[in-house]
Amino acid sequence: MRIERTNDMAEIFKCLPFEREIRKKGRDSSRESDMILFVKSQLESPLFGFWIAYDDSNNIIGYISAIISLIPGMERLHLLRIYAKQKDLFQQFENILKEWAKQYKVKVAQMTTKKHIKVFQRKYGYIPVSVNLERRYF
């Protein structure tokens, strides 16, 4: 197994079947095209990262994307997506993110979820710290 950071959209497009599965299960309601546009716009930034894990046969077995905020008082790593078929892969992704955040002296990791809050608390050590409110203008 190997994990590589990439800014190659051809490789990132190979993750789309997993994204479709995530949306089909109701875990993300955003449009796939919006995600692609966002990733494309951020790829050259050192504060955005996309890593893909491959098995020995070069099949994708997981990926992560995250962005670092260096806004004073809001320095944090925001985990955008993590998809890992194996528990040990999840831990390897966590290690990559910790090392990357350390380079920027970022000590807080944050994520947003609509479902399974208790699972993220129990399994991964996240704690709820705020509530996001939303209102539509149009």
The answer to whether residue 138 sits within a structural domain is: no
CB-based contact 66:77 (threshold 8 Å): yes
Pairing, β 48-54 against β 60-69: antiparallel
**pLDDT over 90 (residue 30):** no
Q: Which helix (H) or strand (E) holds 95?
A: helix 87-103
Quick one: average pLDDT of 17-40?
86
The answer to whether residue 70 sits within a structural domain is: yes
**Structural domains of the chain, count:** 1
Residue-wise pLDDT for 59-86, tens only, equals 999 999 999 999 999 999 999 998 887 8
Q: What is the pLDDT of residue 106?
A: 96
Task: Kindly report the pTM of this predicted structure.
Answer: 0.84
Residue-wise pLDDT for 90-134, tens only, equals 899 999 999 999 999 999 998 877 666 777 778 777 777 777 666
At 76, give phi and psi (nearest 5°): -165, 160
Q: What is the pLDDT of residue 56?
A: 93
CB-based contact 97:80 (threshold 8 Å): no
- 114's CB contacts (< 8 A; 6+ apart) are 27, 29
CB-based contact 48:79 (threshold 8 Å): no
Helix (H, G, I), strand (E, B) or coil at 72: coil
The answer to whether residue 131 sits within a structural domain is: no
Q: What is the pLDDT of residue 29?
A: 77
**pLDDT over 90 (residue 48):** yes
The answer to whether residue 130 sits within a structural domain is: no
The larger pLDDT score, comparing residue 62 to residue 27, is at 62
Confidence of residue 38 (pLDDT cuts 50, 70, 90): very high
Instruction: Tell me the residue range of the domain where 110 lies.
Output: 2-124
Q: What is the pLDDT of residue 115?
A: 67
The answer to whether residue 96 sits within a structural domain is: yes
Q: What is the pLDDT of residue 111?
A: 81
The answer to whether residue 129 sits within a structural domain is: no
The answer to whether residue 65 sits within a structural domain is: yes
CATH number where 23 lies: 3.40.630.30
The answer to whether residue 97 sits within a structural domain is: yes
